[in-house]
Chains A and B, each alone.
Chain A
């Protein structure tokens, strides 16, 4: 069934192993096929799944497992360990500059959740004593600036804008200068959604980077993204050098395989997760929790 959870599937496949005393190479292979299908159904990228399965298979058919008294549990442990390793092992935080303001730039595809997340992040960090300034760097999307202003208003955060007739590079630079002058120790730059293959707009981001040298460039990614997540993450990382990922819309019922894909291709940490439309629904990302959520363990 399509909608059966990944965790159930893994449990199902591995339960068969658990009940057996000894594992043959064929047993492992069969179970790994089910793990593979389950991961694919969870939207983990095809190539990432392949590599993952090869790794687990290698370890699982090793002597250590076949001769262990509880080979099934051993395999479950290996799957769990490798998955957690793939998700990253520790929780990542924002690195603040010793010379404020710290500049954070949010980038990503259209509709991923950048503007909302920018507000959320500002609100989140304000609670820990920061004085954030939101910078309206999207001059393209209809009412993008207004959207950020409304969000800023709801959180009681200042929003810097120069309207939509000035280049985003200039806006970003002026925004940081404004922050310096007004004692904001944190600048969060909202940018327009763009396709990773849009050279012109990707160059715009490179120019912003060059101009304001952000301490953190965070890729905002929709948790429902399918196989394409690797292309998006890889190219944004290649062109900009991202420092981390924020995964949005995890309040849905998606399996969230994109989390695995993105980690695997960029090796950059997922720092926060979006858990709703409301502006307080941002949570730190815990790799072990995500792996456990996926595995149901």
Chain B
């Protein structure tokens, strides 16, 4: 690596990396501004020091301390998994179920996607794969009714963690978002005492639209965490920086493949390092 000084060209290089990682124009500008100010204050002149400073700033945006933990304590707990179409909700549920089951928890799944072709079968295959039961109705059934049944079953069986799948829906579809609101009401009414985590699944290949997704889902079901999937590709998922700084929602888990073990706890530092690779 060549030895470099801090100059405008370097800032431009950083800007390009952030934008091509889907961080977005606004958040990128904010980050660059902060970087410039702090670099001046701390009298940073070497490129390598600037890089360190930048990483500090980014980690600060992403770091939520204990809030990165999955909200499953104390039992009983329920995880409601939501998001737009095809992002990896059902697959992530399979992986999470496997993970917490191996920690000794009793897990149950609810097939709350009654709309998509063979969505119930897909979840059932995951259930079999990881050795966890699935509560289901027929395709076309009311998802709120599925959740109702699943909660009664979870109570009867003294389940530690109930994980509820939902149909993929675009956030700009009012009727589908209302349906989700209804599911969430059933959850409050029937399982009010349970520890609750509502997780939005985001596909790392998604661009700036992810911000609008997070915003709208937050309004409707009060999401309190993000699962960022498909980080095994070449997309960096930088849009979570915008979401973290604007919407106050922590990333909790990341998906790094299609296999049952391809789920990791989100680590702000590793994420930031992966954003840059050896680029600067």
Does B associate with A?
yes
A222-B86 CB under 8 A given contacts A37-B25, A227-B19: yes
Q: Is the CB of A41 within 8 A of B24?
A: yes
A96: interface (CB < 8 Å): no
What is the chain A residue whose CB lies nearest that of B206?
A: A224
What separation, in Å, do the CA atoms of A225 and B207 have in the docked complex?
A: 5
Q: Is the CB of B84 within 8 A of A140?
A: no
B172: interface (CB < 8 Å): yes
Interface string of B24-43 (1 = CB under 8 A from A): 11100000000000000000
Q: Is the CB of A257 within 8 A of B232?
A: no
Contacts of A37 in B (CB 8 A): 25
Contacts of B119 in A (CB 8 A): 143
A195: interface (CB < 8 Å): yes
Interface string of A225-263 (1 = CB under 8 A from B): 111100110000000000000000101111101100000
B106: interface (CB < 8 Å): no
Interface centre among A142, A151, A225, A231 (most CB of B within 10 A): A142
- Residue from the list A41, A195, A222 in contact with B208, Cβ < 8 A: A41
Q: Is the CB of A252 within 8 A of B209?
A: yes
Interface centre among B124, B206, B232, B233 (most CB of A within 10 A): B233
What separation, in Å, do the CA atoms of A179 and B114 have in the docked complex?
A: 32
What separation, in Å, do the CA atoms of A151 and B116 have in the docked complex?
A: 9
Q: Is the CB of A254 within 8 A of B117?
A: no
What is the chain B residue whose CB lies nearest that of A221?
A: B205
- Residue from the list A149, A226, A253 in contact with B206, Cβ < 8 A: A226
Interface of B is mostly: loop
Q: Is the CB of A195 within 8 A of B232?
A: yes
B212: interface (CB < 8 Å): yes
- Which stretch in B58-66, B158-166, B234-242 binds the other chain? B234-242
- Residue from the list A46, A143, A151 in contact with B122, Cβ < 8 A: A143
- Residue from the list B26, B117, B168, B233 in contact with A151, Cβ < 8 A: B117
Number of interface residues of A (CB under 8 A): 48
Q: How many B residues touch the partner, as a band?
A: 35 or more
Contacts of B236 in A (CB 8 A): 228
- Residue from the list A112, A196, A197, A227 in contact with B22, Cβ < 8 A: A227
What separation, in Å, do the CA atoms of A226 and B20 have in the docked complex?
A: 9
CB distance from A138 to the nearest CB of B (A): 12
CB distance from A46 to the nearest CB of B (A): 5
What is the chain B residue whose CB lies nearest that of A254?
A: B209
Contacts of A110 in B (CB 8 A): 86, 88, 230, 258
Interface string of A186-212 (1 = CB under 8 A from B): 000000000111000000000000000
Q: Is the CB of A146 within 8 A of B209?
A: no
B125: interface (CB < 8 Å): yes
Q: Is the CB of B206 within 8 A of A197?
A: no
Contacts of A140 in B (CB 8 A): 258
- Residue from the list B117, B126, B173, B230 in contact with A147, Cβ < 8 A: B117
Q: Is the CB of B19 within 8 A of A46?
A: yes
Nearest 8 Cβ contacts at the A-B interface: A226-B207, A111-B86, A43-B207, A150-B117, A142-B125, A228-B235, A147-B118, A143-B121
7 chain-A/chain-B pairs, Cβ below 8 angstroms: A2-B26, A2-B211, A142-B122, A142-B125, A197-B233, A228-B234, A251-B170
